Structure 1
Amino acid sequence: MYSLLQQLFCLSLLCLSLIVNAASTTVHNASLHDHTRQHPRQWDGRARVGNVPYGSTIWTCSVPGTVALTFDDGPSAFTPGILDLLAQHDAKATFFVNGDNYGRGRIDDASSPWPALVRRMHAAGHQIGSHGWRHVDLNYASSETRFEELLRLEQGLLTVLGFYPTYFRPPFGACDAAGCLGDLAALAYHVVNFNVDTKDYEHDSPDAIGVSMDIFASAVGWNPAGSSYIVLSHDVYAQTAETLVPFMLETLADRGFRMVTVGECLGDPVENWYRS
């Protein structure tokens, strides 16, 4: 029979064990949560360089004759094929990546194909932008959630690349609620939307993708000297990778546009696209 003192000692050890185990499961996020609790003004030390605005929405390029093809929600199994097509056309693009979207697993999971794929994007000269860790509508999120979405992806990309983006596309293109742009300004992000939406997310079938092709062909003009575009599409759909991307690349080449990254179409030097 244990004495009361022995029972209390065992109970203390059990409690200590539970505390240690709980702490070990959350320690990797402790720094992140500390950061998200900081007042936004504590992020003002982040460098703000160049002429591209921070914390206000960018809808189009500033360099005439350029088109920035952008791909959201990846990486996915369709991304390698898109990279192959871009290489064949000597085209550059921007990939706004998620950290863990559509149940594909973490972008920084070394046992997955995603880290190598992200490094391939960067090595090929494409721009990598942030789309948040998951795919959260920031208009309906708290400031803490917004910070967590951005900072968690920063940590993931630091693991994969050693740096993280200064460019961000809000999920659903939505960041107009009170405080949303202010939070992104506090984190020193360029907020990029688009002036051509292919709506490929609505037409991912062989019979329907022609609608997205028509949208694109109608939206993009024939006068490169007087126009430029930021185009929204997604590297998570089969018909985008197999049909829409080849069509867009061929159409832009025929019309005399240069296919560049968002940073380049805004006249922003590559050294401004990332921070560490």
Structure 2
Amino acid sequence: MRWSTFLPVGALVALGRAIPTPSKRLPTRDLYPNNYGPNNNYPNDYYPNQDTSSSSGSSPYLRRAVPTGLIINHCTTPGIVALTFDDGPYIYTTQLLDKLASFSPPIHATFFVNGANWVSAIDDESTPYPGILRRMLSEGHQIASHTWSHLDLTTASTAQRVEQVTKLEDVLLRVVRVKPKYIRPPYATCENGCLEDLEGMGYHVVNFDLDTKDYENDSESGIQVSVNKFNSELGSNPATDSAIVLSHDVHRWTVERLVDEMVGTVRARGFRTGTVGECLGDPESGWYA
């Protein structure tokens, strides 16, 4: 990824928010490749071991603090499939929450929400959306940021990035009283200083390693393409494999069919579902600032 400097101090003061200076630069390679081991040479001070005693059975290469300043594409905990849903809430989100709650045990997912994308504003109490957000939180799902209006953060200025992130923060604090520490950049792109800006705001930047492409296949017959893609790309060994899965709660056939198919495959292969935070070994207390 390329790096750029921040706005001058005066410009940041005009925004009413100052971005903290990142503490260190980090490698721009994918975080946590599938091959764990001492030859990875990750900085121990940045990925501290939580418990590496022989009695715990924990690997020092699986338990690290979740970093900022780079893009996370993979889980660090084998055996977990993190279902994630972008761009909502929308008219299908309540149906999706009903479905996730109906499984035994219930499915906990991660929702990368926008403030005004498919709907005008998620804090309008005359709409279902504030209640949907509160339900997400109360039912154990992880709420994460996808920016206010789905702006491409690679082409945005630092001032625009700050506005996109903090405007959503303010609304979520007002509606659900939490401020996410996890973000997925729209279009899965974060270059030209974007990573540095998000690091300065304290965010963990998360993309995915399994894209269902449900956005290309939202029809009764077409969604089978996404089902097949998921089934072919998900690993088969829960002892070593995991996945962060991209899908969207704004598409009808994702909610009506793809979710059922994904959960069926996940459980048939011996995986369990979890939030992005869980698949990165981050307790719920670390999901929000």
* TM-score, length basis structure 1: 0.82
Q: Give me the whole-angstrom Cα distance separating, in 1, the residues matched to 2:13 and 2:96.
A: 38
Instruction: Specify whether residues 179 and 131 from structure 1 end up closer, same or farther in structure 2 by C-alpha distance, changes over 3 A only.
Output: same
Letter in 1 for 2:158: S
- The equivalent position to 1:134 in structure 2, one of 135, 143, 149, is 149
Tell me if structure 2 keeps the 8 A contact 1:37–1:144. no
Partner of 1:200: 214
Asked if residue 145 in structure 1 is aligned to residue 155 in structure 2, the reply is: no
Instruction: Structure 1 unaligned segments of length 5 or more: list them.
Output: 1-32
- The equivalent position to 1:40 in structure 2, one of 15, 19, 22, is 19
Letter in 1 for 2:265: T
Partner of 1:3: none
Letter in 1 for 2:225: V
Q: CA deviation at 1:65?
A: 0.2
Q: Give me the whole-angstrom Cα distance separating, in 2, the residues matched to 1:36 and 1:136.
A: 18
Q: SS at the partner of 2:187? A: helix
Partner of 1:111: 126
Letter in 2 for 1:235: D
Q: CA deviation at 1:34?
A: 5.0
- The equivalent position to 1:222 in structure 2, one of 230, 233, 236, is 236
Asked if residue 241 in structure 1 is aligned to residue 255 in structure 2, the reply is: yes
Q: How many residues align?
A: 238
Q: Give me the whole-angstrom Cα distance separating, in 1, the residues matched to 2:100 and 2:268.
A: 15
Partner of 2:199: 185
Asked if residue 68 in structure 1 is aligned to residue 82 in structure 2, the reply is: yes
Letter in 2 for 1:98: N
Asked if residue 160 in structure 1 is aligned to residue 171 in structure 2, the reply is: no
Identity of aligned residues (%): 50
Q: CA deviation at 1:200?
A: 0.3
Q: Give me the whole-angstrom Cα distance separating, in 2, the residues matched to 1:225 and 1:100.
A: 40
Instruction: Specify whether residues 36 and 67 from structure 1 end up closer, same or farther in structure 2 by C-alpha distance, changes over 3 A only.
Output: farther
Deviations 1:235-254 (A, max 9, x none): 00001000101111111111
Q: CA deviation at 1:43?
A: 8.5
Q: SS at the partner of 2:154? A: helix
Tell me if structure 1 keeps the 8 A contact 2:22–2:199. no
Deviations 1:195-245 (A, max 9, x none): 000000000011211110011000102211110100000000001000101
Instruction: Structure 2 unaligned segments of length 5 or more: list them.
Output: 1-11, 24-45, 49-63
Which is further off, 184-193 or 76-85?
Answer: 76-85
Q: CA deviation at 1:36?
A: 3.5
Q: Give me the whole-angstrom Cα distance separating, in 2, the residues matched to 1:94 and 1:190.
A: 14
Q: SS at the partner of 2:239? A: helix
Q: CA deviation at 1:115?
A: 0.5
Letter in 2 for 1:180: C
Q: Give me the whole-angstrom Cα distance separating, in 2, the residues matched to 1:200 and 1:74.
A: 14
Asked if residue 51 in structure 1 is aligned to residue 65 in structure 2, the reply is: yes
Tell me if structure 1 keeps the 8 A contact 2:183–2:203. yes
Instruction: Specify whether residues 141 and 227 from structure 1 end up closer, same or farther in structure 2 by C-alpha distance, changes over 3 A only.
Output: same
Q: Give me the whole-angstrom Cα distance separating, in 1, the residues matched to 2:22 and 2:121.
A: 26
Q: SS at the partner of 2:151? A: coil
Asked if residue 92 in structure 1 is aligned to residue 108 in structure 2, the reply is: yes
Q: CA deviation at 1:161?
A: 1.0
Q: Give me the whole-angstrom Cα distance separating, in 2, the residues matched to 1:60 and 1:257.
A: 15
Q: Give me the whole-angstrom Cα distance separating, in 1, the residues matched to 2:66 and 2:213.
A: 27
Structure showing greater Rg: 1
Tell me if structure 1 keeps the 8 A contact 2:22–2:196. no
- The equivalent position to 2:245 in structure 1, one of 228, 231, 234, is 231
Instruction: Specify whether residues 154 and 38 from structure 1 end up closer, same or farther in structure 2 by C-alpha distance, changes over 3 A only.
Output: closer
Q: Give me the whole-angstrom Cα distance separating, in 2, the residues matched to 1:39 and 1:129.
A: 21
Partner of 1:77: 91
